[in-house]
Structure 1
């Protein structure tokens, strides 16, 4: 099987721009198109998944709200949060939505374990939690057996905007980030380590592509 092509972008990419790029890639890909993994950050934005309740956005303030076609409910993206988008042909990989979701969670758990941090799953609430606080969120969309969207990891960011929403539709859900648990772990190094753990958890080889 061909390696997963990894694309990393410097700076901040608008959410809607990336959403349209993922949809276009997924619509145009064929049986020979290599899978891709995109690592990037967004400017501040609240995104609403297909199951989102508008009431879970309490007060967006100056932060834009974008309707997304991913699964899940409401979340926040912003600078200092790594977002990984997985554009995977699931049947070709021999994977299911469940195994892909489990692999993403396992990658984050292994990443945190590098610094002695215990990450946990929560039944019925996809993502990864540390002492009850959410550190990573998941959401996928599947079309013709091909995935897009993926996971976000709170790394070194301003967490205050999460107070403007019910994160993932859960009132009073605490959130945390890597920097608060391991302050000497640089943002870029966390991103690189996350890619390594994701490759291992999915049992795929990753190859860096254009940036």
Structure 2
């Protein structure tokens, strides 16, 4: 991704990469080591994306949009909104309602009713370094189903979004996911949705292409 982005020019065609990783933790550029509680032998890779630590593994759809935002005519805030919207619409195909939580990028579901449409009450107060303030439990009642971490250089994007389909969730308990202590992580299988990785990957890829294309 980095080589592609550094070598592209104004005529380079945008691409969207969809993949599935072997078990690995990735740290954002400002990642704090204390958020890796015990890696249990899983590699921890430093990256230059935003955000803190997250886990990638089999059963998770990872999408890397390599998009020229200047050509598309949008800024980073709108780009993030579109990424999250694509995940929400992908979940909607299986009847799952995805939610945004202010100040905490990614998509969440209500654990008590992942198929209902009532809003979540979670709020994520932040300190000046962008890390959640330790006040109560702002994520009570919600689980994170998709993580988002991006990098933009010369108005071109890389890194992206990871959507949990049917994976081993235990490695998420060995970190503070995305820097949030105690944040519960879920996948579609946890919610009772039986689907194939390829099906979800195709849906997410199609959504991204339609919302990030010319």
TM-score by length of 2: 0.83
- The structural deviation recorded for 1:186 is 1.4
The root-mean-square deviation of aligned C-alpha atoms, in Å, is: 1.1
Map of 2:115 onto structure 1: none
Higher helix share: 1
Query: Mean alpha-carbon deviation: is it higher for 86-95 or for 193-202?
Result: 193-202
- The structural deviation recorded for 1:184 is 2.4
In structure 2, runs of 5+ residues without a counterpart are: 111-141
Q: Is the contact between residue 41 and residue 80 of structure 1 (CA under 8 Å) also seen in structure 2?
A: yes
Q: Secondary structure at the match of 1:177?
A: coil
Map of 2:144 onto structure 1: 134
Question: Of 171, 181, 197, which residue of structure 2 is paired with 1:171?
Answer: 181
Map of 1:81 onto structure 2: 60
- The structural deviation recorded for 1:200 is 3.3
Map of 2:83 onto structure 1: 104
Where do 4+ consecutive residues of structure 1 move more than 4 Å? none
Q: Structure 2 vs 1, CA of residues 182 and 100 (structure 1 numbering), >3 Å: closer, same or farther?
A: farther
- The structural deviation recorded for 1:182 is 4.2
- The structural deviation recorded for 1:169 is 0.3
- The structural deviation recorded for 1:180 is 2.1
Question: Of 49, 53, 73, which residue of structure 2 is paired with 1:70?
Answer: 49
Q: How far apart are the structure 1 equivalents of 2:67 and 2:102?
A: 25
Q: How far apart are the structure 1 equivalents of 2:82 and 2:9?
A: 24
Deviations 1:156-198 (A, max 9, x none): 1100000110000000000110122243211111111111222
Q: Summarize the alignment of residues 180-195 of structure 1 with structure 2, pairs less than 5 Å apart.
A: 180-195=190-205
Q: Is the contact between residue 107 and residue 200 of structure 1 (CA under 8 Å) also seen in structure 2?
A: no
Q: How far apart are the structure 2 equivalents of 1:76 and 1:123?
A: 22
Deviations 1:122-169 (A, max 9, x none): 000000000110000111111111111000011111000001100000
